Amino acid sequence: MKNQFFCSLVALSMFGLSGCGSGLSKSTAGSDDGGSTTPAYKKIFVTDVTFLGDFKTLGAGATGIAGADNLCMQNTNHPGSGTYKAMLADGVVRIACTTADCSGGVSEHTNWVLAPNTEYRRLDETTVIGTTTASGIFAFPLDNTVVDGSTPEANGIWTGLDLDWTSHATNCLGFESSSGANSAMAGVSYVDSVNTIQNGGGASCSFGQRLYCVEQ
């Protein structure tokens, strides 16, 4: 008994172990990363400013999609850490689905920003927006709207998406045009329905809309 007690004291003080013999295990009080854990969810925010449809120019990107991603990273609402990309489809550089609601699964994605089977929350990290399907899209209605309806961000949002998550045909010429002669699909951020990604007809590329920015 005395030897067992002594062995336990030594193990606890020197190695952070819970006992002696074959049943020893490392203490769970701490970890190499200081006890921090990676959240099991990702976040979405809406930009605090609106943009015309030429994201290539506005965001200084090689393409309209790249420019939109840059604008997400530069936006004041960016939480200060993490990589965020625009939930924006042009049908070439970024595609969510090539068939209605991605009947073929994630193989239809090109550079898509939503991960499959993943919970997304607002920046407050407590309000759940929704959990994506195995195909990496949201099924509607959402658990909560992307933003509170009383905030300035409760507004029109460029998406480039049709109601079934496929890319619309025009979309400001790949989001490289701010001409009123062109248009693109837009949703609204203050509803939980499919209108989150498309709210009626296309919006003029010369009319300012915001962006959904999704944590990667």
120 inside domain: yes
Three state DSSP letters for 55-89: HHHHCCCCCHHHHHHHHHHHCCCCCCCCCEEECCC
47 inside domain: yes
Percent of the chain with pLDDT over 90: 80
Range of the domain at 166: 41-215
Pair 138, 192: CB distance under 8 Å: no
pLDDT tens profile 113-171? 999 999 999 999 999 999 999 999 999 999 999 999 999 999 999 999 999 999 999 89
Pairwise CA distance, residues 56 & 71, whole Å: 10
Q: Residue 43 pLDDT more than 70? A: yes
Output the average pLDDT for the chain. Answer: 87
What are the residues facing 78 on neighbouring strands? none
105 inside domain: yes
Pairwise CA distance, residues 20 & 199, whole Å: 65
Q: How many domains does the chain have?
A: 1
* Nearest residue to 21 via CA among 6, 40, 8, 38: 8
- The answer to which of 30-44, 77-91, 107-121 has the lowest mean pLDDT is 30-44
pLDDT tens profile 162-200? 999 999 998 999 999 999 999 999 999 999 999 999 998
The pLDDT score that the predictor gives to residue 206 is: 98
The pLDDT score that the predictor gives to residue 39 is: 74
1 inside domain: no
What confidence category does residue 37 fall into, taking pLDDT thresholds of 50, 70 and 90?
A: low
Pair 84, 213: CB distance under 8 Å: yes
0.95 exceeded by pTM: no
34 inside domain: no
Helices (H), 119-170: none
Q: What is the CATH number of the domain that holds 201?
A: 3.10.100.10
Count of CB atoms within 10 A of residue 159's CB? 27
Q: Encoding tokens for residue 145?
A: 């709207």
32 inside domain: no
- The average pLDDT across 34-47 equals 81
pLDDT tens profile 198-215? 998 789 999 999 999 999
Number of H helices, E strands in the chain: 4, 9
The pLDDT score that the predictor gives to residue 33 is: 46
Pair 42, 115: CB distance under 8 Å: yes
- The average pLDDT across 70-93 equals 98
Q: Residue 18 pLDDT more than 80? A: no
214 sits in which H/E element: strand 210-215
Q: Which residues contact 177 (CB under 8 A, 6 or more apart)?
A: 53, 54, 205
The pLDDT score that the predictor gives to residue 110 is: 98
17 inside domain: no
180 inside domain: yes
Q: Encoding tokens for residue 30?
A: 């701490």
Q: Residue 13 pLDDT more than 80? A: no
